[in-house]
Amino acid sequence: MNWVKFITRRLAALAATLLLLSVLIFFIMEVVPGDVAQMILGRNVTESSLAVLRQQLGLDRPAPVRYWEWLTGFLTGDLGVSISLHAPIGSILMRRTGHSLVLGFTAAIIGLPLAVILGFVAALHRPRWLDALLSRGTVVISSLPEFLIAMLLVLLFSQVAGWFPATAAVRSGSPLDDPRVLVLPVTTLVLTMTAYVLRVTRASVKKTLDAEFVVAAEMKQLPLATILWRHVAPNALLPTITLVAGHVGWLIGGLIVVEAVFAYPGLGLLILTAAKNRDVPLLEATVLLAASFRIIANLGADILYRVVDPRVRLS
C-alpha cells in the first residue's frame, strides 16, 4: 500500500471516529441530569422564564433536530456561540488551544529528549549508581497521580520556598504575560512524561543491546557511538515512538488534571468548564479538537515508524 492510500484511509477513519464521538457526547449530555436554563437563571426563577430561555437556546426542540443543526453548522465552519461564556466558540478555541500548545510544547521539548537520553544512559549502566537512581525514581514518579505531583510541587516551591505562583491564572488571561506561572505546570508534565518514556526507552535499549546484530558490531570493534547511532537507536526507539505519540496527544488534547490544579486557561480546563455548565456546543467542539490532535499524533507515529524502520509495512 502506498503513502497516499494509507493516509487517505487513516483520515477517513479519523472522520468516522469524530462523527461517532460527537454523537456520543451529544446524547450523553442529553441523559445527564441537569438543566442548562436552570443553571443560567438560578434556582429562584419562574417556569415561564425558564420556558422563554429554553426557547431562545433552542432547547425546546427534539434532540436529533438540535444535533443535526449543530453538525451542519460545524461542517460549514460555524461553531456557534458558547452558552456559558457568551462568546464565539471559534475565538475561544483559538485562544485556549494556543495556551495549551505553549504548555504542551514546552513540556515536550524539555521532557522527551531528556527521557530518551537518560533512557540510553540507564541502559548502558554508565555509571551504575545513576541507573539505579533513575530506575527507582521513575517507579516512584509513575506510581503517583498527576494531581499529587502538582500539589507537592505547589507545596514545596510555592508555599514553602515562595519561588513560583501556585496558580497559572493571570489577570490578562494569557499565561505568556507572566512566564513564571508556567514553571510548575510544565515541571509536573515533564516529570510525568519523563518517568514513562525513560522506562520504556531503557527496557527497549537493553533488549536491543543483547541482539545478535549488535553483538556482531561489537565484535568488529566498532566505536560505541556508531553502534548506538546506526544499530541500536533505529530499533530501540520504535516502542518509544508509540509512547511519545500517545503523550503528544495527551499533552495537546488532555491536560485536564494539570490545568485544573493550576487553573491554567487551556483546552483541558475548558472541557471541564463546558461539561460543568452543560455547554454542549462548546463541549462538542473542544472534545473533537482534542480527539483530533490525539488521532493525528498517532498517525504521525505510524508514519515515523515507517521512516525509522522501512521494514514496517503500511496497513
**131-159 pLDDT tens trace:** 677 778 888 887 788 888 888 998 999 88
Q: Which residue has the higher pLDDT, 219 or 26?
A: 26
Q: What is the pLDDT of residues 244-284, one digit of tens each?
A: 766 665 665 557 788 888 888 888 888 888 888 878 888 88
Give percent above pLDDT 90 in the chain.
Answer: 0
User: pTM of the full predicted structure?
Assistant: 0.73
Checking if the pLDDT of 292 tops 70, the result is yes
Nearest 5°: CA angle at 179, between 169 and 172?
40
Q: What is the pLDDT of residues 99-109, one digit of tens each?
A: 888 888 888 88
Residue located via cell numbers 556508531 = 226
State the pLDDT at residue 314: 54
When pLDDT is cut at 50, 70 and 90, the band that residue 12 belongs to is: confident
State the pLDDT at residue 242: 67
Domains and CATH numbers, the chain: 34-78 (no CATH), 89-308 (1.10.3720.10)
Checking if the pLDDT of 1 tops 60, the result is no
Please, how many CA atoms are within 13 Å of residue 157, restricted to the half-sphere of its CB? Answer: 19
State the pLDDT at residue 307: 66
Checking if the pLDDT of 126 tops 70, the result is no
Cβ neighbours for 204, distance < 8 A, ≥ 6 positions apart: 119, 236, 237, 238, 239, 240
Cβ neighbours for 69, distance < 8 A, ≥ 6 positions apart: 58
Q: Which residue has the higher pLDDT, 231 or 139?
A: 139
Rama region for 197: left / alpha / beta (φ>0; ψ in -120 to 50; rest): alpha
Q: What is the pLDDT of residues 31-87, one digit of tens each?
A: 766 666 666 666 666 667 767 767 776 677 777 888 888 888 888 878 888 887 888
State the pLDDT at residue 246: 60
Work out the average pLDDT over 196-220.
75
Q: Calculate the dihedral angle through the C-alpha atoms of 220, 223, 225, 230, rounding to the nearest 10 degrees.
A: -30
Average pLDDT, rounded, for the chain: 77
User: 16-25, 112-121, 254-263 — which is least confidently predicted?
Assistant: 254-263
